Structure formats: structure tokens, C-alpha cells
Amino acid sequence: MAKENEDVFMLSAEEKEELLKIARTTIANVVIGRKLQPPEAKFPVFLVNRGVFVTLHKKGELRGCIGLVEPEKPLLEAVVEMAEAAALHDPRFKPVRIDDVPDLDIEISVLSPLQQVTELEEIEVGTHGLMVERGYFSGLLLPQVAVENEWNRTAFLQHACLKAGLPMDAWHDTELEIYIFTTEVFGESKDESMIVE
């Protein structure tokens, strides 16, 4: 897994604000079918490849969450694409409509490169997100999911396996690959950014 540019982050308040603004503008435009011009990369960090998840809540309820795990694209491009995907292509929800947009709270999670776990004790609930992988099956949970649900390490692993479409106890399987990552999380609905690292 790539480690390059790992030391570039963290994002400034101004950079976070700009990414949230770009995500909201993207969503407001794509829900009415308007094609967006690629936004300007106002900060150098926007050109660094990074994994990103965009999460949408409406009146406190999850409304969409889609992400790019690997740092395959520049941060700015990833935010734009994941904002559109969270609004229109999360299979769990109907596409966001124009009248939903004012009620949306947008949260962005910027991921560190994945690191494979060799000992389960390496997993720190509240600090790490999890990705599990076996063959064609994979599932990912962000760090804040474990905190919100008050899971311990075992419950976190079980739910990551379920998310992958595997049995709950698949984390015992020696063929299962487990990865951890950290996130920098920030959103519109919070007075202060929540940073998990």
C-alpha cells in the first residue's frame, strides 16, 4: 500500500472549508443534471492523491456514503466524484433531490494509506478504520462508525465482515486480510472538526 505523501496532511481550516463548499456545489448541480466544470485546485494539497469518503446526513439520518479507499486520485477530484456518488449512486438510498439539498449535512473523511494488520491488538477502536478483504469480498468501516455504535474491537471486526458479505466470525479466518487506516474527518454540522489520527 502506498505511503507516499503521508506526511503532507493535515488540512487547514480554510482547506476543509473549501472542500466542503466544493462538495455542496457539486451535489446541488448534479441533482439537477447540470454538468460541472472541474473546480480550481486552490491549495497544493488538493493535488495529493488520497482516499476519500463523502457522507451525507439529512436531519440526523444517514442519506448517503460513498468513498474511494485507495489514494488513486487527487484529493479535489476524489471529493467531487464521491460527493456526486454519495448523492446519486448509494444503492441503499433513492437519489438526492433538489429539495433535499438544503437539509443535507456533508461530512468528508480523508483516509491515510491502508496498513495491513499482523496482530489484532494493532486495531485501536476510535482511532482506526477497518477494511477486511477475502477474495472478491471486501468491506470497510470508518473509525467514527465504531465510536457511534460503541463497539469494542471484536464487534468492529464482526461488523466489518458483515459489511463485506462474509460471516460475522470470518475475522478468525487466516485467509482474511485486515487493514487499518486513520482519517481526518470534518463536516458542516459540527462546530469543530473531528480529527482522528
> Could you read off the pLDDT of 70-89 as tens digits, one per residue?
899 999 999 999 999 999 99
Q: How many other C-beta atoms are found inside a 10 Å radius of the C-beta of residue 87?
A: 28
Encode the chain (197 residues) as per-residue pLDDT tens digits: 334 444 446 899 999 999 999 999 999 999 999 887 888 899 999 999 999 999 999 998 999 999 999 899 999 999 999 999 999 999 999 999 999 999 999 999 999 999 999 999 999 999 999 999 999 999 999 998 999 999 999 999 999 999 999 999 999 999 999 999 999 999 985 443 343 33
Strand order in the sheet with 129-134: 115-116, 177-181, 129-134, 137-141
Cα separation, 182 vs 114, whole angstroms: 8
**H helix intervals, 57-98:** 75-88
What is the bridge-based pairing of β-strands 194-196 and 177-181? unpaired
Q: Which fold has domain 115-181?
A: Dna Ligase; domain 1 (3.30.1490)
Looking at domain 6-111, its CATH superfamily turns out to be Hypothetical protein ph0010; domain 1 (3.30.700.20)
User: Which amino acid belongs to residue 97?
Assistant: R
Residue extents of the structural domains in the chain: 6-111, 115-181
Cα separation, 47 vs 133, whole angstroms: 28
Cα separation, 114 vs 186, whole angstroms: 20
